[in-house]
């Protein structure tokens, strides 16, 4: 289970396992759409009502540090988190329901290198994100 793996990695990282962290990890590790700190807070309190919003911020910070979550940028805001991509992957996000999904296998570095040369840039990274409608949100 992802949650257990995350908890292990927190512990390996020298952090203690607490109720607050367990609650946050349970919510975020299992979620298929990006959540803001407050959304994590609301969801996690259903399991652990004593949770403080501060601990959500602090836990997300540590999960980010450990590479277990990543921040998601969208029109609506840039403070939502998802389980981190596995290797080099990019996001597709449903603009209706927010479902997020990673895909891989794009090989664009050649193209990007070429574009870079044309503009005298040496390209070191790229950021690609698709948006659309997931199966469930498409009209019949």
Partner DNA sequence: CGCTTATTGAAAATCATTTTCAATTATAAG
Partner DNA sequence: CTTATAATTGAAAATGATTTTCAATAAGCG
- Give me the residues that bind a copy of itself (CB under 8 A), please: 73, 78, 92, 94-95, 101, 103, 105-106, 108, 111-112, 115-116, 118-135, 138
Among 28, 51, 69, 72, binds DNA (CB under 7 A): 51
- The option from Zn ion, Mn ion, a copy of itself, none interacting with 124 (CB < 5 to 8 A, set by class) reads a copy of itself
**Tokens in use for 4?**
């257990």
The entry of Zn ion, Mn ion, DNA, none near residue 29 (CB within 5 to 8 angstroms by kind) is: none
Q: Considering only CA atoms, which of 116, 72, 84 is closest in space to residue 2? A: 84
What is the DSSP-derived secondary structure letter of residue 135?
G
Give residue 119's region: left, alpha or beta (phi > 0; psi -120 to 50).
alpha
Of DNA, Zn ion, a copy of itself, none, which one sits near residue 1, judging by CB under 5 to 8 A according to partner kind?
Answer: none
Interface residues for Mn ion in 47-106 (CB under 5 A)?
A: 106
Report the distance separating Cα 130 and Cα 95, nearest Å.
10
47 binds, options a copy of itself, DNA, Mn ion, none, Cβ within 5 to 8 A by partner type: none
Name the segment binding DNA (CB under 7 A); options: 25-33, 46-54, 109-117, 131-139.
46-54
Q: Which DSSP letter does residue 82 get? A: E
User: Which tokens is 115 given?
Assistant: 């574009």
CB 136 within 8 A of CB 71: no
In which element (H, E) is residue 99 found?
none
131 touching Zn ion, by CB under 5 A: no
CB 25 within 8 A of CB 7: yes
Q: Which residues bind Mn ion (CB under 5 A)?
A: 106
Q: Which residues bind DNA (CB under 7 A)?
A: 11, 14-21, 36-38, 48, 50-55, 57-59, 61, 79
């Amino acid at each position: 289970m992802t949650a257990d793996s995350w908890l292990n990695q927190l512990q390996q990282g020298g952090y203690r396992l607490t109720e607050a962290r367990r609650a946050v990890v349970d919510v975020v590790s299992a979620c298929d759409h990006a959540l803001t700190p407050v959304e994590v807070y609301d969801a996690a309190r259903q399991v652990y009502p004593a949770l403080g919003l501060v601990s959500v911020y602090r836990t997300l910070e540590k999960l980010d540090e450990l590479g277990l979550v990543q921040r998601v940028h969208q029109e609506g805001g840039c403070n939502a988190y998802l389980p981190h991509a596995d290797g080099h992957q990019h996001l597709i996000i449903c603009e209706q329901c927010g479902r997020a999904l990673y895909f891989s296998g794009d090989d664009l570095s050649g193209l990007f290198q070429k574009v870079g040369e044309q503009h005298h840039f040496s390209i070191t990274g790229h950021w690609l994100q698709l948006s659309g409608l997931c199966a469930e949100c498409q009209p019949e």
